[in-house]
Structure 1
Amino acid sequence: MAETAVWFVLKQVYQLLKEEAKLLKHVRKDFEDIKNELEFIRVFLKDADKRATTEELGIKLWVKQLRELSFHIEDVIDAYIMDVVNATHHHDHHGYIGKFQSVIGLMKLKTLTLKPRHRIASEIQEIKLRIYGIKERIDRYNFQFSEQEQGLSIKYPDRLGSLFVDEGEIVGFEKPRDEIVGWLVDGDERSRSVISVVGMGGLGKTTLAKNVFDDQQVKGCFDCRAFLVVSQSYSVEALVRNMMLQFFEETKEPLPQGINMMDKTTLITVARSYLQRKRYVIYFDDVWKVEFWDEIQLATPDNKLGSRIMITTRNLDVANYCRKDSRVQVHKLQPLPPNKAWELFCNKAFRFDFDGSCPSELKDISDDIVQKCEGLPLAIVAIGGLLSTKDKTVSEWKKLCQNLSLELDRNPHLANLTRILGMSYDDLPHYLKSCILYFGIYPEDYSIRSSRLIRQWIAEGFVKHEVGKSLEEVGEEYLTELINRSLVQVSRVHYDGKATSCRIHDLLREMIMRKMKDLSFCHVVDEDDHEQISDVIIRRLAINTSSNNMLRSIENFPLRSLYIFDVLIKFSDYFGSKFFAKSKLLKVLDLEGALLDYVPDDIGNMFHLKRTYSSISGESGVRMMEGFGGMIVLQKLYHVEVDHGGLNLIAELKKLKQLRKLGLKNVQREYGNALCESIEEMKFLESLHISAITENEVIDLQFISSLPQLRQLHLFGRLEKLPNWVPRLDQLVRLSIRFSKLKDDPLKLLKDLPNLLRLAMVCDAYDGEMLHFQVGFKKLNNLYLVQLNNLNSILIDNEALPALKLIEMAYLPKLKEIPSDIYLLKNLETLRLIDTPHEFNQSIDPNGGSKNWVIEHVQMVTIVERVGPNPNSFDFSYRTIRHPRGT
């Protein structure tokens, strides 16, 4: 993190020197000196964070001072830009002194910037003195940081316990063990194949692999076997030598002469020769690097005898990399289910007490503890083992449960658990360390929307520019890498296969929270937070409390990022009026969780929010104050109450040309032309949501010529006809129309959209009696037809909807029977029928329904029926029909 902080400041210095050369003529050399010194210091930071959290106090203090210096430099640069550059821009839109033609203009500019120049000159001298002091301490204490640092002592976790687990102590691995044994024994008898077990640290990959290795069935199928622990620091030479020693020890063959003196090339040659005529199985446990396969596969030839290589890893990319020259099977190891987690906990916590069972008085608190472990075997074993040494009292156990974060940090019984979880963080490249720490900002058990997270990374400057890719695409790659490294869990998947929301394991979050505190990354304030924060450096603040006393205490801190989660904060209160007036350097403001009814007046004056990636959102609609158009690179703005501001607000929208997502509520027909003009300026717009002020108000959007990047479109209101630009949206993935009351079947205009994946026609979106799906809709996955009151028939042409997997039909009172053409949809997996007419449901009854044959190929059919004679009843019954072909 220290390296990341310095790198971020360096980028700012680079940009300042590049763009404001003439403005900096009095202080340019000083800034260049700072840049050079920071580049020098950054060389020493490769392993500083790791050593600061595991070793000498002096290093920890040194990193802390360096981080604080980075914060100071960032403040000085930003204050300078805000005062001097803004003064210049006030006179000249382009920001260059050379553009001034009048002597008077130049004199005014010098007068405006004289005080800031004096101040920055003084502050730069202070910064240089602090840098020299840090360098002097490097020399004095002989800190040795470099990319090939010698003598760095890393405390790797003890893995012996995972290799020597009695058969009777193994819980919950029966199914994965049987599957992997089957792959090893019954797979292709000719080709060499790679079997990978992938999962986060502590899931029991090593225990599972060793259990499979010792299986008698596996032993009998191979001529020779070896089990090798790789870990983060490994030597191919040592691995191959160890592999050969295990082979010869098991087969009782004489060792090759001089094997202990052979170099890597000779060892690989000997290994290849030995294995050429043997069916072998080799286990490589705890592999971290994708390049491992390039090095080790040279010593493990594909001898066409059905040999096997098994790899355990936290990184899915390691497993996938082997596909380039081997057949690969991947088992993604899952956490223990609740019943197995409870069984394992009782085995450890009550092994010698209460006959291995939990006493009734400890059941509730034990259940809380097991839930915190979230099915992670290592955590269950470690915490259960610790509790087995303590008094079996509720108070003693509750104390550990409530202070688990502290116990993880200091209790030797849990040290191995902490180190194993921490290894995944230590192995990350520096650009991902900041990204994973961001998960600690969110509350516990919070499912985080992926798009929100990625936008926050971008706003913070964590995401690097890459040629030919948008920042969003690079951010998605970062998130995918964290998922593949088993650090992030996918909570929900979008219909296009991407992760729409994600979370982290609670114990991993505990580790991240400790690192956040050590690194001054973010301060989290919740209802239970009684910590005095007057002496704490706060750059990022996450608020999960409505306490005004706590909020007022942070108003004078130089915040750069503010997050509010699911709490009631009225911005008319003291906090709002004072805070936003003082927070001129705020660069990330996330109010998504705040129950705000308007946007504070001063938000448009925030210097950094004009220059970063930012978002303003509110599901119920927010009122924007005059001047918000100044945030010219705002990229996400929804949902705005357009009637509060009307045409003037729409004119402000026209300035926001960088918007990617726009949501407008309370739109009136009279806004049509102006709204089209403003939206047309948004060439990067990817998501557009427009809702009329009432369901009968007409939305007039005919005068938009093109939205080339639009991927999502939601139109809620009357449409005299479908806008003629909609069928030209080649990038459109998702389309929802509601209250549209279209007279003409819109499907003939939509069938050729090349990337449409999801179509929803809801709440009188269509007034007609028949929908006709013609040949087309090549990629459509999900179809929702809801509350179309006049619809009585649906036609589907052969070869239409070839990719459709889900249909939901709900509240279609005149559709009396299932469309026969559904049998043509061979890839349909799920059919949901909600409050469809009784005759409709009878026609597909599995016990003699006349049209049951129509859905025989569908894997899952769910029927939700209203209970009782009252048509307005909200009581429903659910039944699911499963067919043999889908079971």
Structure 2
Amino acid sequence: MTTTRIHDVAKSCCSSHGDLVYKIQPLSAADSKKLFFKRIFDCEEKCPLNLKEASDNILKKCGGLPLAINAISSMLATGKTKEEWDHLRLSIGFARGKNSDIDTLDYILSLSYFDLPLYLRSCLLYLTMFPEDYEIEMQRLVQRWISEGLIHGEAGRDLIELGETYFHELVNRSLIQPVDIGYDGKASRCRVHDTVLDFLIYKSTEENFCTMLSSHVKSDSRVRRLSLMENEDPGSVEQLDLSHARSLFAFGFTRKYFPSLVNLNALRMLDLHGCRRLVNHHIKDIGRLFQLRYLNISWTAINELPRQIGDLEYLETLDASFTGLVELPESVTRLKRLARLFVPAKIKLPDEIGNMNSLQELWDINPFKQSLNFLEELGKLTNLRNLRIIWDSDGSDDASYKGKELVSSLCKLDASNLRTLHIEFYLTEREATLIRHPFFPALNSIREIQLRSGKLCWISKCLLSFANLQSLHIIGDTEIKQRDLDMVGSIATLLEFKLRYCRCVGPIIIGRGFPQLQKLAFYYSYMQLTFEVGAMPNVKKLDFSIHLKSFKSAGGGFDFGIQHLSSLASIRVTISCDGARAAYVESTERSFRSMAEANPNRPTLEITRELTEDMLE
């Protein structure tokens, strides 16, 4: 038996006859308690009531890791007073030199840390800027790594791709926990285990990598990176010397106090994501931050950017998604280094966007909100690699003209560097004529399609012409018939297919087709579904979200034939319990367990209940 933290090492140790890697899962809450209390009191029943709350909090910090539980329980074995437990609960971390088990845990984490190449150590330490238990989005993290100069690639190397490689390597080494794992087996988010985070905070403080006010930083310390958590003491922030700060991350900050940008001349990264109470005047001095590489104002109340933003000649990423912005100032076209621009769908962009020839990613624009000049200029962005557009003409009179100009520009981009084109369609029957072949060409860059309103049959011929289509998502109160599923199943390149709030007409039988599909999802879509023998030979993930009361009235049963999905690895079921009887919820769960057990692969099964407070007795 070979044990390792690195998944690739484990796979390389397997024979060519099969995957024999066993991934050890954290202990359950019950087993964690059993291990914890056995070490201290011999059993949970002997634990004094006044220590129960502290023990629950301590166990949460351990996260089901046997080594962490053993280490902490060893410390408590000689100190059982409530004061001692509460002290440990509040200061739990790395009490160096006081206990051999803690030193062992510290040593193991140090070993993992120093085993990393230098470039990965900095990327890992950077995670201390996020709060405990925070789900960190890979895309956002990689963009920040780039702005901080933590990713160094050879000339011509795509830094985003390299950053994603760094991210997955940290997951592979079990130093960060993967979250939201896709059909390709890769995570799009991560979380840092509390124990690992404690260690990283210690290293970060030791190296003055990042400053957190909770670490009781000295007011005369030189701050390089500052992470402001919610409910920080304004007085503590005012005492800091931020003249050398390179990064400022405000998490959930309110408008009561926010540090002035006037003296932050060295700032390269400013992340205000989710600070919903921040408004326009908080960034009125943004034009003074001449070194700024990264600016994130998504999910804030900011609805206007100052004209001086065009002075930020080094700016590489501007994320203004999910804001109230209705127009970008003309000055943004002077941002010659801007590589990533993310904006809300209803925004009006400057006509001279063709001047921004460094743009590599552009999300989410509605071409029908733009001028004809803009659509012509769009075709000049020959370095564009990732484009997301919202096709919603909203019945405008010039939709046909704009549609033709857009298609012309998309063809130019497709012939250049465009790799991924994501389109969200909002269609009426009249508008559907605009995208029928041959008016809408079979672009090689089209990877993802969402149909948010309209009928699937309106774009079926178009879908079949896209040679590289990988993901199809149908959303809304749309009727889906057997012939629609048969058509989708004939798309040979499709890897992901999702139906959300759709109505399937009649029994749906899935037999042939879907040769490469990896993930299938039905979110609150009512159907009578059956998988036949040999169906979907490569599907690995199956997601169901069921509104149980409506599902029952639709006449569907629960014998879907899941046992016929020969490559199935995981099933996730979300049951909306409102209006359904408890006995029916339980029988539904039993049915899914039976189907999972009947599959030869023994796929993992995750069942979640929603709206249980409205469940009938």
TM-score, scaled to structure 2: 0.75
| Distance change (3 Å), C-alpha of 1:391 and 1:577 | same
Q: In the TM superposition, what is the alpha-carbon distance from 1:602 to its structure 2 partner?
A: 3.0
**1:625 and 2:339 correspond:** no
Aligned to 1:345: 36
The whole-number CA distance in structure 2 between the counterparts of 1:695 and 1:856 is 47
8 Å Cα contact 2:14-2:21 kept in structure 1: no
| Distance change (3 Å), C-alpha of 1:591 and 1:425 | farther
Query: What letter corresponds to residue 318 of structure 2 in structure 1?
Result: S
The whole-number CA distance in structure 2 between the counterparts of 1:507 and 1:365 is 17
| Distance change (3 Å), C-alpha of 1:843 and 1:513 | closer
The whole-number CA distance in structure 1 between the counterparts of 2:483 and 2:53 is 57
**1:654 and 2:368 correspond:** no
| Distance change (3 Å), C-alpha of 1:720 and 1:691 | closer
> Superposed, which structure 2 residues align to 1:242-257 within 5 Å?
none
The whole-number CA distance in structure 1 between the counterparts of 2:296 and 2:50 is 44
691, 697, 713: which one pairs with 2:422?
Answer: 713
**Matched residue SS, 1:627:** helix
| Distance change (3 Å), C-alpha of 1:667 and 1:795 | farther
**Matched residue SS, 1:842:** coil
Q: In the TM superposition, what is the alpha-carbon distance from 1:768 to its structure 2 partner?
A: 9.2
**1:663 and 2:363 correspond:** yes
8 Å Cα contact 1:198-1:330 kept in structure 2: no
Q: In the TM superposition, what is the alpha-carbon distance from 1:426 to its structure 2 partner?
A: 1.8
Q: In the TM superposition, what is the alpha-carbon distance from 1:789 to its structure 2 partner?
A: 6.6
The whole-number CA distance in structure 2 between the counterparts of 1:750 and 1:332 is 39
685, 690, 709: which one pairs with 2:385?
Answer: 685
Offset from partner CA, 1:223-248 (integer Å, 9 cap, x none): xxxxxxxxxxxxxxxxxxxxxxxxxx
> Superposed, which structure 2 residues align to 1:302-321 within 5 Å?
315-321=6-12
Aligned to 2:52: 363
> Superposed, which structure 2 residues align to 1:495-574 within 5 Å?
495-521=183-209, 522-527=225-230, 529-530=232-233, 531=236, 533-535=239-241, 538-546=245-253, 551-552=258-259, 555-557=262-264, 558-573=266-281
> Superposed, which structure 2 residues align to 1:54-133 within 5 Å?
none
The whole-number CA distance in structure 1 between the counterparts of 2:176 and 2:543 is 31
Q: In the TM superposition, what is the alpha-carbon distance from 1:455 to its structure 2 partner?
A: 1.8
Aligned to 2:407: 702
8 Å Cα contact 1:864-1:876 kept in structure 2: no
Q: In the TM superposition, what is the alpha-carbon distance from 1:325 to its structure 2 partner?
A: 10
Query: What letter corresponds to residue 720 of structure 1 in structure 2?
Result: A
**Matched residue SS, 1:603:** helix
The whole-number CA distance in structure 1 between the counterparts of 2:272 and 2:446 is 32
Q: In the TM superposition, what is the alpha-carbon distance from 1:787 to its structure 2 partner?
A: 5.0
The whole-number CA distance in structure 1 between the counterparts of 2:103 and 2:19 is 35
Aligned to 2:63: 374
**Matched residue SS, 1:618:** coil
**Matched residue SS, 1:562:** strand
The whole-number CA distance in structure 2 between the counterparts of 1:833 and 1:535 is 51
8 Å Cα contact 1:833-1:864 kept in structure 2: yes
Q: In the TM superposition, what is the alpha-carbon distance from 1:669 to its structure 2 partner?
A: 6.6
8 Å Cα contact 2:138-2:190 kept in structure 1: yes
Aligned to 1:634: 338
**Matched residue SS, 2:564:** coil
9, 18, 22: which one pairs with 1:331?
Answer: 22
Q: In the TM superposition, what is the alpha-carbon distance from 1:439 to its structure 2 partner?
A: 0.8
Identity of aligned residues (%): 25
The whole-number CA distance in structure 2 between the counterparts of 1:801 and 1:844 is 23
8 Å Cα contact 2:184-2:518 kept in structure 1: no
| Distance change (3 Å), C-alpha of 1:378 and 1:528 | farther
Q: In the TM superposition, what is the alpha-carbon distance from 1:868 to its structure 2 partner?
A: 6.3
Q: In the TM superposition, what is the alpha-carbon distance from 1:801 to its structure 2 partner?
A: 1.4
Q: In the TM superposition, what is the alpha-carbon distance from 1:419 to its structure 2 partner?
A: 3.0
How many positions carry a matched residue from both structures? 550
**Matched residue SS, 1:363:** helix
The whole-number CA distance in structure 2 between the counterparts of 1:597 and 1:617 is 9
Offset from partner CA, 1:38-59 (integer Å, 9 cap, x none): xxxxxxxxxxxxxxxxxxxxxx
Aligned to 1:198: 4
Aligned to 1:110: none
| Distance change (3 Å), C-alpha of 1:727 and 1:384 | farther
**Matched residue SS, 2:422:** strand
> Gaps spanning 5+ residues in structure 2: where?
210-224, 603-617
The whole-number CA distance in structure 2 between the counterparts of 1:628 and 1:706 is 23
448, 461, 471: which one pairs with 1:748?
Answer: 461
The whole-number CA distance in structure 2 between the counterparts of 1:432 and 1:617 is 29
8 Å Cα contact 2:523-2:543 kept in structure 1: no
Q: In the TM superposition, what is the alpha-carbon distance from 1:811 to its structure 2 partner?
A: 6.9
Offset from partner CA, 1:102-139 (integer Å, 9 cap, x none): xxxxxxxxxxxxxxxxxxxxxxxxxxxxxxxxxxxxxx
| Distance change (3 Å), C-alpha of 1:380 and 1:459 | same
Q: In the TM superposition, what is the alpha-carbon distance from 1:806 to its structure 2 partner?
A: 4.3
Aligned to 1:250: none
> Superposed, which structure 2 residues align to 1:451-470 within 5 Å?
451-466=139-154, 469-470=157-158
8 Å Cα contact 2:314-2:335 kept in structure 1: no
Offset from partner CA, 1:453-495 (integer Å, 9 cap, x none): 1222222222222367422222222222222222122112122
**Matched residue SS, 1:439:** helix
Query: What letter corresponds to residue 584 of structure 1 in structure 2?
Result: F
The whole-number CA distance in structure 1 between the counterparts of 2:436 and 2:324 is 25
The whole-number CA distance in structure 1 between the counterparts of 2:423 and 2:141 is 23
Aligned to 1:408: 95
The whole-number CA distance in structure 2 between the counterparts of 1:561 and 1:760 is 34
8 Å Cα contact 1:773-1:795 kept in structure 2: no
Q: Aligned-pair RMSD on alpha carbons?
A: 4.2
**Matched residue SS, 2:259:** helix
The whole-number CA distance in structure 2 between the counterparts of 1:633 and 1:370 is 48
Q: In the TM superposition, what is the alpha-carbon distance from 1:440 to its structure 2 partner?
A: 0.9
8 Å Cα contact 1:520-1:538 kept in structure 2: no
**Matched residue SS, 1:662:** strand
The whole-number CA distance in structure 1 between the counterparts of 2:577 and 2:372 is 41
Q: In the TM superposition, what is the alpha-carbon distance from 1:790 to its structure 2 partner?
A: 9.5
| Distance change (3 Å), C-alpha of 1:528 and 1:373 | farther
Offset from partner CA, 1:293-347 (integer Å, 9 cap, x none): xxxxxxxxxxxxxxxxxxxxxx334444556999984333332222222222223
Q: In the TM superposition, what is the alpha-carbon distance from 1:367 to its structure 2 partner?
A: 0.6
The whole-number CA distance in structure 1 between the counterparts of 2:564 and 2:18 is 32
Offset from partner CA, 1:142-182 (integer Å, 9 cap, x none): xxxxxxxxxxxxxxxxxxxxxxxxxxxxxxxxxxxxxxxxx
Offset from partner CA, 1:376-422 (integer Å, 9 cap, x none): 222222222222333511x43223222234x5367556344333222
**Matched residue SS, 1:628:** helix
Offset from partner CA, 1:554-585 (integer Å, 9 cap, x none): 75243222223432342433x4224x243222
The whole-number CA distance in structure 1 between the counterparts of 2:509 and 2:35 is 56
The whole-number CA distance in structure 2 between the counterparts of 1:650 and 1:729 is 26
8 Å Cα contact 1:745-1:768 kept in structure 2: no
| Distance change (3 Å), C-alpha of 1:409 and 1:524 | farther
Q: In the TM superposition, what is the alpha-carbon distance from 1:368 to its structure 2 partner?
A: 0.7
Q: In the TM superposition, what is the alpha-carbon distance from 1:504 to its structure 2 partner?
A: 1.6
User: Which one has the bigger helix percentage?
Assistant: 1
8 Å Cα contact 2:287-2:310 kept in structure 1: no
